[in-house]
Amino acid sequence: MKKRIAIAGSGFAGAVIARELAETGLYSIDVFEERDHLAGNCHTERDSGTGIMLHRYGPHIFNTSREDVWDYVQRWGKFEPYINRVKAKTARGMFSLPINLLTINQFFGRTMNPREAAEFVAGLGDQSVGTPQSFEDQALKFLGRELYENFFRGYTKKQWGVEPSELPASILQRLPVRFNYDDNYYNMRFQGIPLEGYTALISRILDHPAISIHLRTRFTADESRAYDRTFFTGPLDSWFNFRLGRLQYRSLTFDRFESQGDYQGNAVINYCEETIPFTRISEHKHFTPWEKHEATVCFREFSKLAGPEDIPYYPLRLTGDKALLKQYADLAEREKGVTFAGRLATYRYLDMHAVIGESLDLSRRLIALGSDTSSWPHFSVRPD
Ligand code: UDP
């Protein structure tokens, strides 16, 4: 008899764990997905009117430095080369982002070389800031007030709904600052977009005789009793019916508009000014430059605090959230038969490649532990 595994959620975490366990031949796996499609917030679908591949929950550009993760995703579909090159609209004009030598020279009206620019920017930094604790500290210390206020302050207040002095420095550390003309948004070794979109990729990961998929089906903690082990990839607090309170998330809304030709000449343009209510506009046909479309579909992206009915996107992780997270993580470690994995269940700001990497690592650990599922860990990575 195969052991029965339930997996709640069909994003990358759920899909990778399902596949890895299915391939051992020891388990029969039910994947439960409450939405009407696979792939969670990575979901892509062709627009019925224009045929353009849309990232329904916002732009997803795959990037990783882990060779095993890059090899893994390519097992399930062809990736087209794609480099994310973002532009930023500021009060002083349109610039290249991340901040690079072109940004610095154009913003300050200079023609510096890399060494001169590095010295110049170091001179802008606020030396009175010690070890940066907050987003604001990090920006002021390494970039100075002018770059901070033009590129980061307004955008960050819109995106997170709080003062940047309340946010961790790690959020800004996601973005490189370069003293050369490299305008690649990411620092990773590998980057691309799946030719047929993320949902096709994830449905191939899940296409295995030992895996059954149940769309439009919410999975509850009660149902886990019928299984030898459950993997929960939804919000950690929802597993416990929010009994200690709610972890805060930011949610997004999208305002769609359509036109002909090329609306903005780039896939993503950020709007850094606080007076403009949206954070960015994405023009999705530019995510598939290998396709030809006359029409174009764009989305203005707005951020808000997630209410109970909203889709959670970004864990806010303010001080109160982190205290609550610790309490939920302690509860999770006392929960029998359940493993929490992925971005929502570990309440961390993880990109796709990080979720896949952690899910592969977790699966390898499970396989090494063998089919005594009671010995399996409670978390892919315990959050803090
Ligand atoms: N950010 C900003 N201005 C920008 C782009 C990013 O202030 O034009 C800040 C903002 O706080 C954002 C963070 O940098 O949340 C990380 O940006 P990233 O592009 O990694 O965010 P994501 O694509 O995950 O939304």
Using one digit for the tens of pLDDT, what is the confidence trace for 303-352? Answer: 999 999 999 999 999 999 999 999 999 999 999 999 999 999 999 999 99
Our mutation pick for probing the ligand 1 site, out of 156, 254, 280, counting the most ligand atoms within 8 A of Cβ, is 156
Ligand 1 contact via 97 beta carbon (within 6 Å): yes
Question: What is the CA(4)–ligand 1 centre distance, in A?
Answer: 41
Question: What is the CA(131)–ligand 1 centre distance, in A?
Answer: 21
Question: What is the CA(156)–ligand 1 centre distance, in A?
Answer: 7
Calpha distance 296→52 (Å, rounded)? 8
Query: Model's pTM, two decimal places?
Result: 0.97
Ligand 1 contact via 99 beta carbon (within 6 Å): no
Catalytic residues: 174, 178, 250, 280, 301, 349, 351
**Of 262, 324, 225, 218, nearest in space to 4 by CA:** 225
Ligand 1 contact via 88 beta carbon (within 6 Å): yes
Locate 226 and state its tokens: 């019928």
Ligand 1 contact via 173 beta carbon (within 6 Å): no
Which 8-state DSSP code applies to residue 274?
Answer: T
pLDDT band at 88 (very low <50, low <70, confident <90, very high): very high
Q: Which atom in ligand 1 lies closest to the alpha carbon of residue 152?
A: 7
Q: What is the pLDDT of residue 377?
A: 98
For residue 37, give the amino acid letter.
H
Calpha distance 134→148 (Å, rounded)? 13
- Beta strand pairing status for 44-46 and 53-55? antiparallel
Ligand 1 contact via 186 beta carbon (within 6 Å): no
For residue 144, give the amino acid letter.
G
- Protein residue closest via CA to atom 19 of ligand 1: 175
Ligand 1 contact via 268 beta carbon (within 6 Å): no
Ligand 1 contact via 151 beta carbon (within 6 Å): yes
Question: What is the CA(279)–ligand 1 centre distance, in A?
Answer: 9
pLDDT band at 100 (very low <50, low <70, confident <90, very high): very high
| pLDDT tens for each residue of 49-66 | 999 999 999 999 999 999
pLDDT band at 46 (very low <50, low <70, confident <90, very high): very high
Residue 18 to residues 76, 128, 146, 262, 375, Cα–Cα distance (Å): 14, 50, 48, 40, 18
- Protein residue closest via CA to atom 23 of ligand 1: 59
Calpha distance 25→41 (Å, rounded)? 29
Calpha distance 309→14 (Å, rounded)? 22
Calpha distance 206→16 (Å, rounded)? 8
Calpha distance 331→156 (Å, rounded)? 32
